[in-house]
Amino acid sequence: MIPFSTLSERHLVYAYLVVWILQFGYAGWLAVQWKKTPRD
Amino acid sequence: MRFVTGPTPPPHDRIKPVKDSRKSTSLAGIWFGLTMLVMAYGFYQAMVAPKEATMGNLYRVFFYHFPHTILSFIFPYINCVASLLFIFWRQSKPELAAKADAWAVASAEITVVYSTVGLATGMLWGRAAWGIWWAWDARLTTYLLLWLLYVSYMMLRSFAAGGQTAMVASVLGVFAAIDVPICYMSIHWWRTQHPAPVFGGGDGSGIDKSMASAVLWNVAAFLMWGIFILGWRYALERRRQHQDNLATEAMLRGDIGSENA
């Protein structure tokens, strides 16, 4: 169970989520652009 | 006689089709797999490291905040070197200049991603540890400036029209990199809200051995991830350059064709 009751616990969870959302979101955007841009 | 009045052809007008060889695709796949493993192990290390004496579990933000901030000081130098190479090669070696420009775009975009993470995790940590989201101290202000400089670089690349965009962006990239050493040294030069450097900060700095492996694994993980997305973004930019080149050639051929008809 993820601790989420205090402000510190919530902000720790948010910080990790922000990292994954931004990094994997960016990689997802790259994948979409890669598919949309023809090679030749 | 009618003159062709299309946009100025880009300096990379002799670029060849991008080669995504099977070998480089497999290498990228292996690198991605290794990165995911290291990232997962880094996360595990971050979770099993002991609690910190004053901040408790909250200090675990450091394991992600530190690698992103440090790496966001490295990517701008790739942008700076690539921008300088573009400026030097743009006339004499247009194909190499196009490659340098693609590295510059890729590294600027990765700088924005990493510094956004650095800012966001720092603010979340600051709100819980200091009770405030933001302080206009030297480190935070110069770091915000770094973020703004590379966001403006990307906006310039996206919205500026004309054949000189890459040149103007290169000049901006060279000057933007000057903020990096100022931001890095700010916590050495001025004692403000942001804590003193954990590594290399003199007497009393450093991290306990039991926490060090979590830092190292996460630095390795996000360095590997950064290399992966930097290479991918570079390859995408090379594809875009090729497509732009084809579009310009087609437009010029179209104008000449209508002139003959």
Handedness of CA B230, B235, B241, B247 (dihedral sign): negative
pLDDT of B211 strictly over 70: yes
pLDDT at B1: 36
Residue B10 is encoded by which pair of tokens? 């880009």
At B5-53, the pLDDT tens digits run 444 445 555 556 566 678 889 999 999 999 999 999 999 999 999 999 9
Cβ of residue A5 closer than 8 Å to a chain B Cβ: no
Task: State the first-to-last Cα distance of chain B, in angstroms, to the nearest integer.
Answer: 13
Cross-chain CB nearest to B236 (options A14, A19, A30): A30
CA distance B52 to B208: 10
pLDDT of residue B17: 57
The answer on pLDDT for B192 being more than 50 is: yes
Is residue B191 predicted with pLDDT exceeding 60? yes
Tell me if residue B191 falls in helix, strand or coil.
Answer: coil
In this prediction, residue B205 carries a pLDDT of: 77
Residue B1, min C-alpha distance to chain A (Å): 33
For the residues B59-88, what does the mean pLDDT come to?
98
pTM comes to 0.90
- Mean pLDDT (whole number) for B68-91: 98
The question of ipTM being above 0.90 is answered as yes
Most B CBs within 10 Å, among A1, A2, A9, A16, to test the B interface: A16
pLDDT tens digits, residue range B112-143?
999 999 999 999 999 999 999 999 999 999 99
